[in-house]
Structure 1
């Protein structure tokens, strides 16, 4: 059964450069992130690592969870 879009965040561990990190996202964001990884034909960890690397290039990098949400939002409206 699918979780409602307004469910509280769920914490999951992902590997970035061989290191486990914990990310808390609402189920709707997890589904969107999984769909983006599938669309790109890359593992979820690889996509998170890509988003992480891009956020670290920012002048004032947001935390990883915020970067993922912003990346997904930008993707949704990219055309």
Structure 2
């Protein structure tokens, strides 16, 4: 990760359901996404595919980069809540 969390998005290519796509996220989100994938013992592409599938089922689906940011926010909120409750 960069020294500052304030950094423009960085584009990475990923493969979802057998096709390649590019996602632009700020480095802090890429790092958090890698950490979440590792904590769930998933390859990064598998986690992104899971988020994409959830996003597509939404009534008004956001773009994939936005869905990843939303997913990370919810995931980190749940993880913080678990730790604060001693779970």
Pairs within 5 Å for 1:1-79: 2-3=1-2, 4-78=4-78, 79=81
Segments ≥4 residues shifted beyond 3 Å: none
CA distance in 1, matches of 2:56, 2:8: 27
Partner SS for 1:77: helix
TM-score (norm. length: structure 2): 0.87
CA distance in 2, matches of 1:76, 1:47: 15
Tell me: higher relative CO, structure 1 or 2? Use CA pairs within 8 A at least 6 residues apart: 1
| Number of positions where the alignment pairs a residue of Structure 1 with one of Structure 2 | 78
Gapped runs of 5+ residues in structure 2?
A: 82-87
- Which structure: larger Rg? 2
CA distance in 1, matches of 2:77, 2:32: 13
For the aligned residues, what is the CA RMSD?
A: 0.7
TM-score (norm. length: structure 1): 0.95
Partner SS for 1:14: strand
